[in-house]
Amino acid sequence: MSDLDGFRAEVRAWLEEHAPISLRGRPGDIFHGHWGGRRGGFESPDHERWLRLMVERGWTAPTWPTEYGGGGLSRAQDAVLQSELRRLRLPPPLIGFGLVMIGPTLLEYGTEAQKREHLPPIIRGEIRWCQGYSEPGSGSDLASLQMRAEKNGDGYVLNGQKIWTSYADESDWIFCLVRTDPAAKKQSGISFVLVDMDQPGVTTRPIKLISGASPFCEVFFDDVKALARDVVGGENNGWTVAKALLRHERTMVGEVFARSVMGAEAELLGLAREALGPAEGTLADPLLRDRIVQSAMDERAFMLTIQRIQDAAKTGQPPGTESSILKVYGTELNQRRRELAVTLAGADGLGWEGESYASGHLALTRDWLRSRGNTIEGGTSEIQLNIIAKHVLGLPDGGAR
Amino acid sequence: MKLALNEDQRLIKDSAAAVWKDRGAVERLRKLRDAGDATGFSRALWDELAGLGWLGLPFPEELGGVGLGVTELCLVLEEAGKTLAPEPLLATTLLAGSALLLGDSDAARTTWLPRISAGEVIATVAWQERARRDEPLSCAAVARSAGDGRVSLHGAKREVLVGAQAELIVVVARDEASGQLGLYAVPGDAEGLTATPLVRVDAFPCARIDLDGVVVASDARIGGAELLATVLDRAGIGLAAEALGGMSAAFEMTLGWLRERRQFGVPIGSFQALQHRAARLYIDIELCRSVVMAAARTADQPGVPAAALAQVASLALARTTDTFLRVVDEAVQMHGGVGMTDEHDVGFYLKRARVVAATFGDAAWHRDRWARLAGY
């Protein structure tokens, strides 16, 4: 314990001395911050300085080994670092799928050469990654994917299309699931390959969503080259790697939704008081009041479940099956909250754009629309329920996927 | 507050699981029910629970207890709930026990708690008068001055857990002069006290209590409205733990049936329509587990503010009562016709869930209280 206390004192002193004053009190999260990459500009010179300082200590990837530029911290030390960052309400110096998805996967499945090549640029924020999984004909049935990778000399030639690729238009490299053995059955002919997007034949096209935003893209591959050394986990063994990565993704999604549901009660109550009155005392509409309470209780129960999973992990208990519920419950919780928010706002929640609407109300509408995708992206709720039924509850496989 | 079991807690949970299970799960309750047993639970098992220290788990050692808390007691209650054990641990140790433990009277504490811990005294609290919990609590029962510093109690209480068997009944009555609520420790065999057993759907022992001028010494008053609120919240958390056990057992039973029952040539558990419903029940049960653990730990925090305790108790009861009902409804539905038979155990859980939901206020009541506590 005294070791950790010492570490805390050191971290605190270092942050007090080095963390840019202008960034204090401006916390972000894993979807709001500096994404890095070849095209990634900085919001301000202080953001750039903040990244450089943290990179020097390896604290953009605090728990990764120091030999690749990581911080080499234990989980307990990382928890101390994060709590000290929160104390000053500092933004993370760097965010992105390199840090939370492909990096952890390479640490688990990558060769030494792959780690040495790809981890340092992730840690330094030089390369921004995206995830090429879904295809137009392969959504929930991911293993039916058709994108081809054909052997050519000491590499592959890639042809096909990916879809729903988050931020592909701003990314530098993509990790893809491709079919390397068309003769093999489904899962067994798939490889996990890393592809540099800065080459002829790669085309990205953003998809406009019902919310008006375009966080997702289509990515087209037309005779694109990949190197043999960039296959992770061995040829035709990509499905194993893909599943490991999905585990990292699911943990991340749990954290994202933990953040997204926090503070629901205060937000909803504020909207309700504004729309219904009275400002003090019992809300005039008992049914909406009950829905606000339900939302608040759901949020508390969800947050406590996340805490329970974390506390069990800290005591060294093997990870339980509880984490399987985070994706499906967290996303539905966020949807109910967003729905209730636009409901409470009434006609104020109907604006699409324009000066006639308050920006907060416009955001409510867009957030509600965007939230509809939560139960589709990253594995639909239906797929999550299949996983729980089969792998957690041990119910028999009846051919229904 | 750590939401994980330590080594001691895991031992208690494991041995509780073994003790209740060894006695036969629902079969025991079924036999007591069918025999119309006047006690309604097993005195022999009660002595054994005393020997294990569980009747005094949250009491200090100098009062015959073990010096642990609500957290540990909830583990025992959860396991009891799995087998629908009718032993009045909740009424004795958590309702009456909390009233004595946290009340004003040292005399009552030192008189009763060692005897409760030793298994010599069954105890309960008689607080309910209306069919539904209300706030402020309806209390027509009165405490009237009877001279010589004594008071006499008049009125009627309903749904008194183990009321006909209790050797000690903590009665809630309103002081006729001051209008203040009071909790009075009354021996179960006091003159003027009549207990009429109520035969309820769950077959757990319960009674109506009539108080016709029951005279007690004035030092029988062990506390007032604040004490009652705390007592009901602590017991509510214990009941939520019991409900967690009940829903877990009904769910396990249902999963077994889904794997075993075959229709159209395959196990019915292979049908996605049923798989998804089972998965959703699992999610809700896990959320219940988190809130029960958090609520019990909150109750054990020294000096926890009444409002904070009330909030977690309401969270725990709102979720567990609703989820228990949903789980048992689904359990009966998925069992099909066999689930409607008295011969099958699943119906016992359905009936118990209904009683649990109406014991300390249902989910709607607790959601309303949550909003009141939060100022809306």
Domains and CATH numbers, chain A: 2-95 (1.10.540), 129-235 (2.40.110.10), 262-392 (1.20.140.10)
Mean pLDDT, contiguous 10-residue spans, chain B (376 residues): 94 96 91 96 97 98 97 98 98 98 97 98 98 93 94 98 98 96 97 97 98 94 97 98 98 98 96 98 97 98 97 98 98 97 98 98 97 94
Cα A204 to Cα A285: distance, rounded to the nearest angstrom = 49
Taking Cα atoms as reference points, which of B239, B236, B231, B241 lies closest to residue B75? B241
Query: How many Cβ pairs closer than 8 A exist between chain A and B?
Result: 130
Helix (H, G, I), strand (E, B) or coil at B145: strand
pLDDT number for residue A41: 86
Give me the residue spans of the domains in chain B.
Answer: 7-123, 125-223, 226-373
Return the axis-axis angle of helices B306-335 and B346-357, rounded to nearest 10°. 150
Give dist(CA A135, CA A128) in Å, integer.
Answer: 21
| DSSP summary character for residue A102 | I
Q: Which of A297, A301, A394 sits opposite B370 (nearest CB)?
A: A297
Burial of B109-147, coded b for 16+ CB within 10 Å and e otherwise, reads: beebbbbbbebebbbbbbbbbeeebeeebebebbbeebe
Active site residue A135: no
- Cα dist from B253 to A139, B337, B352, whole Å: 35, 15, 15
Nearest to A109 by CA among A207, A298, A299, A239: A239
Q: Which two tokens stand for residue A334?
A: 């966020």
Q: What is the pLDDT of residues B274-327, one digit of tens each?
A: 999 999 999 999 999 999 999 999 999 999 999 999 999 999 999 999 999 999
DSSP-assigned beta bridge partners for residue B183: B172, B223
Q: From CA B246, how far away is CA B82, in angstroms rounded?
A: 4
Q: What is the pLDDT of residue A401?
A: 47
Spacing of C-alpha A317 from chain mean position: 25
Of B279, B290, B370, the CB nearest to A301: B290
CATH architecture of residue range(s) B226-373: Up-down Bundle (1.20)
Q: Where are the alpha helices (DSSP H) in B139-224?
A: none
Instruction: Indicate which of B260, B276, B281 best probes the interface with A, i.e. most A CBs within 10 Å of its own CB.
Output: B276
* Closest-CA distance of chain A to residue B72, Å: 17
CA distance B19 to B22: 5
d(CA B354, CA B338): 20
Q: Cβ contact (<8 Å) for A311 and B4?
A: yes
Domain covering B7-123, topology: Butyryl-Coa Dehydrogenase, subunit A; domain 1 (1.10.540)
State whether residue B375 is helix, strand or coil: coil
Query: Does an H or E element contain A109, and which?
Result: helix A103-109
- Cβ–Cβ under 8 Å, residues B47 and B119: yes
Nearest residue on chain B to A330, judged by CA atoms?
A: B283
CB–CB of B303/B230 below 8 Å? no
Report ipTM for this prediction. 0.96
Q: What is the pLDDT of residues A139-151, one digit of tens each?
A: 999 999 999 999 9
Q: What is the DSSP letter of A317?
A: P
Distance, in Å, from the CA atom of B160 to the CA atom of B273, rounded to the nearest integer, reads: 42
DSSP H/E element including A219: strand A216-227
Give the distance from residue A90's alpha carbon to the nearest chain B alpha carbon, in angstroms. Answer: 26
Q: Which residue has the tokens 């359990």?
A: B331
What pLDDT is stored for residue B229 in this prediction?
97
pLDDT of amino acid A280 = 78
DSSP run (H or E) holding B277: helix B272-299
What is the rounded CA–CA span in Å between residue B287 and residue B290?
5
DSSP 3-state assignment of A141?
coil
Q: Inter-axis angle of helices A2-18 and A75-87, to 10 degrees? A: 40
CATH 2.40.110.10 fits B125-223, yes or no: yes
Q: Which residues of chain A have pLDDT under 70?
A: 1-2, 30, 250-257, 260, 316-320, 399-401
Rounded-to-integer distance, Cα A197 and Cα A225, Å: 10
Q: Which two tokens stand for residue A291?
A: 């829905």
Asked if A133 and A158 count as a contact pair (C-beta separation under 8 A), the reply is no
- Comparing CA positions, the residue from B240, B44, B103 lying closest to residue A297 is B240
Write down how long chain B is: 376
From residue A207, alpha-carbon distances to A125, A214, A224, B131 in Å are: 26, 5, 22, 58
Q: What are phi and psi of B194, to 5 degrees?
A: -120, 130
Q: B332: Cβ–Cβ under 8 A, 6 or more apart, which residues?
A: B339, B340, B346, B347, B350
Structure-block tokens of residue A178: 């491709």
Inspect the interface and report whether the beta carbons of A305 and B319 lie closer than 8 Å.
Answer: no
- β-pairing, A216-227 vs A231-232, is unpaired
Inter-chain CB proximity B259 and A395 less than 8 Å: yes
For A324, the closest chain B residue by CA position comes to B283
